[in-house]
Structure 1
């Protein structure tokens, strides 16, 4: 079975649940249901990786220290790209190296997604132009200012329009389950949600 590689960007000031929630969903998904299947990766359809500026420690919100699996320059091919948010995402808007990397990886990824204010980064790159999208409620106006052509959906947790965006923080879990459902089917998504005891909306 070919596993899809999920590249989850991490950076200084990234919101913990923005990346950790999706990581949990993708790392716990199995095509074969049950506890026994989760003791190995044999039926795992996803391989989540944390991608940082380098492999040096990244300090997330609250002081959590995270060690990326790969730096930007060494990251393998990514089937799925996930851009999380957090207070540090504002600095990414002026980080030409990371912006270029996201643009290049998004162009060849099967699916590009964002959580929370990660949508601001995608908007900065023009990836959300003319699309429906959402973000953290505190960033609605900023999203619209970056690109007025974006149709900001203020009342939806997950918005699909070529690119999948989610509302703030915990909504990234809902977004990840939607990706699982799209790629693996609703039964796999529901079984995984039951395993981690997460009530899908």
Structure 2
């Protein structure tokens, strides 16, 4: 079971490492972190991840997964990245994403006509890439599987593991990871967070990704011209 995660600068590492930890426990699993080059890739957590393969050397995956993070705008603008995704998706059994990685799949033209989800703060942009937005934590549509924001990647991994190896094995993975969430606060969605917390998040986005909406729109426009 070959599992390939796209690795790009300023990825949210938990979008990748959460589902990677789960999916690595599928029978005969092999996880690859695929970068444009073999250079270490900075994450938004302040530490780098090292690719285990490049676009030129990566194997043909059974599962292709695109994580998210503030770096998705750069990935959406990089034609080599989009070309690799299109080529790889032709051969993969499962084409998947976590968080705003869905928008990278969208920019590659891989979600048109598919039901999908993403991080709540970017959910409205799914339709711009021809996807059908669904506000659920994990969404399956044929061989497309998308997870919501960040921590939803663990749920995504378990749900996909159940489809591939059966629910009993997925339950075994859950137990082995002691995945028994009991968050100390009930503020994990915009519907539950206070207005002050929500405003603080919006200021963070304005600081680190003030041009995000414009770059999302430009990527959607490029896809439309290509098609």
Q: Which TM-score band applies after superposition, normalised by the shorter structure?
A: 0.7 to 0.9
Q: Is the Cα contact below 8 Å between 2:139 and 2:146 reproduced in 1?
A: yes
Q: Is the Cα contact below 8 Å between 2:96 and 2:145 reproduced in 1?
A: yes
Give the root-mean-square deviation of aligned CA atoms: 1.2
Q: Is the Cα contact below 8 Å between 2:112 and 2:129 reproduced in 1?
A: no
| Partner residue, 2:161 | 180
**Residues of 2 paired with 1:26 and 1:80: CA distance?**
9
Relative contact order, CA 8 A, sep 6+: which one is greater?
Answer: 1
* Deviation of 1:146 (Å): 3.1
TM-score normalised by structure 1 residue count = 0.86
* Deviation of 1:74 (Å): 0.8
The answer to whether structure 1 residue 51 and structure 2 residue 34 are counterparts is: yes
Deviations along 1:147-197, one digit per CA (max 9) or x if unpaired, are: 3xx22012x100000200010101111111111101100000001100000
Residue of 48, 60, 65 corresponding to 1:77: 60
* Deviation of 1:87 (Å): 0.4
The answer to whether structure 1 residue 23 and structure 2 residue 17 are counterparts is: no
| Partner residue, 1:135 | 118
- How many residue pairs match? The answer is 180
Residue of 138, 142, 148 corresponding to 1:167: 148
The answer to whether structure 1 residue 62 and structure 2 residue 45 are counterparts is: yes
**Residues of 1 paired with 2:123 and 2:24: CA distance?**
30
* Deviation of 1:199 (Å): 3.0
Please say which structure displays the higher CA radius of gyration: 2
Distance 1:45 1:169, change over 3 A: same
| Partner residue, 2:93 | 110
* Deviation of 1:46 (Å): 1.3
* Deviation of 1:125 (Å): 2.0
**Residues of 2 paired with 1:108 and 1:97: CA distance?**
17
| Partner residue, 1:158 | 138
| Partner residue, 1:125 | 108
**Residues of 2 paired with 1:145 and 1:70: CA distance?**
31
* Deviation of 1:143 (Å): 1.8
| Partner residue, 1:199 | 180
The answer to whether structure 1 residue 7 and structure 2 residue 26 are counterparts is: no
TM-score normalised by structure 2 residue count = 0.76
**Residues of 2 paired with 1:120 and 1:78: CA distance?**
20
